[in-house]
Amino acid sequence: MQCHSSEELEGLVEEARQLTVDGHVADYIPALAHANQDKLSVALYYPDGRCYSAGDTEENFTLQSISKVLTLALALMDRGEEYVFDHVGQEPTGDPFNSIAKLETNKPSKPLNPMINAGALAITHMIIGDTVEDRLERLLNFIRKLSGNPSINYNQIIAQSELKTGHLNRSLCYFMKQHGVIDEPVEDLMDLYTKQCAIEMNCLDLARIGCVLAMDGADPVSGEQIIPRDFARIAKTFMVTCGMYNASGEFAIKVGIPAKSGVAGGIMGSLPRTCGIGICGPSLDDKGNSIAGIRLLEMMSKKYSLSMF
Ligand code: DON
């Protein structure tokens, strides 16, 4: 059964919203601590252009780790599959997203996958362009195209806040530089990565991006192949195996939708050949995923039989 109205979603949002009191907004990036804990929004975008939404849909949020799926797609387009996976692995990890542990124990040193911070930094390093500004502009234009929203940009305050405080990510970069995974100045990579993570949008933009991935990389309106089919498939597969960090297994069982979360509370869902989903709820559970967002997806999956398994 498909969703037929925004009113239907409104009821689910209000029920899931009750969970927001049990979580916490992220504060390790100081500027994220100002987020409103009780906000929750959802949008569902179908390939025929229908879009239903509910909750605080006008709220903008930063992509944070959701951006990792999009940089992966761009890096694959820039460098090809062989190059990308020569430098970054394809295996899930049971570790937290910012863990440095496996970088040291893995020989040769190579981040386990593109969804943990180390792997994402190595992927951002691959984006082609002469300067950080050129590379950021290429990424922004790519995301503007995917979302169909030409005004998408990044939030300077949140990017600055992470650049100032992201010393764990810096240390991942230095470790990888020592081991030849990256070879650019660490501050340049940090600059680009923090701006990438601070790219801002609302849940409707995010649902449309999810829909492009769901449609194997093709724009649902124009039909243009924005991402080659194979690369959209790779991106969705990583969403299943590593998209919700060390909660990916449980999420696959309970929800069954390829999804990627971020610490600002966003979740992008991409159900193959069916629809894209955009959610934002800044209150997070102990693994860093939107606590009400996950509950909402569980309810939607059940009600609309969305699990792909
Ligand atoms: O690198 C970081 O720590 C953040 N910019 C992104 C982390 C993130 O979203 C992980 N999410 N669950």
Task: Say yes or no to pLDDT of 37 above 90.
Answer: yes
Nearest CA to ligand 1 atom 1: 117
- Ligand 1 center from residue 158 Cα (angstroms): 12
pLDDT in tens, 44-74: 999 999 999 999 999 999 999 999 999 999 9
pLDDT in tens, 180-224: 999 999 999 999 999 999 999 999 999 999 999 999 999 999 999
Q: How far is CA 252 from its chain centroid?
A: 16
Catalytic status, residue 263: yes
Catalytic status, residue 186: no
Nearest ligand 1 atom to alpha carbon 289: 12
- Domains of the chain, each with CATH number or no CATH: 6-62+202-303 (3.40.710.10), 65-197 (1.10.1500.10)
Mean pLDDT, residues 26-40: 96
Task: Say yes or no to pLDDT of 148 above 80.
Answer: yes
Residue 106: the pLDDT is: 77
Q: Determine which one of 45, 52, 154, 193 is catalytic.
A: 193
Q: H/E element holding 125?
A: helix 117-126
Q: Determine which one of 39, 41, 67, 68 is catalytic.
A: 68
Residue 243: the pLDDT is: 96
Ligand 1 binding pocket (C-beta < 6 A) is 64-65, 97-98, 117, 162, 169, 197, 245, 261-263, 288
Q: How far apart are alpha carbons 82 and 58 in whole angstroms?
A: 40
pTM: 0.97
Mutate to test the pocket of ligand 1, among 121, 158, 197 (most ligand atoms within 8 A of CB): 197
Percent of the chain with pLDDT over 70: 100
Q: How far apart are alpha carbons 280 and 32 in whole angstroms?
A: 13
Catalytic status, residue 45: no
Mean pLDDT, residues 90-108: 80
Residues contributing to the annotated binding site for substrate? 65, 117, 162, 169, 193, 245, 263
Q: Determine which one of 65, 248, 290, 301 is catalytic.
A: 65
Mutate to test the pocket of ligand 1, among 24, 65, 285 (most ligand atoms within 8 A of CB): 65
> Mean pLDDT score of the chain, rounded to an integer?
95
State the pLDDT confidence band at 170, using cuts at 50, 70 and 90.
very high
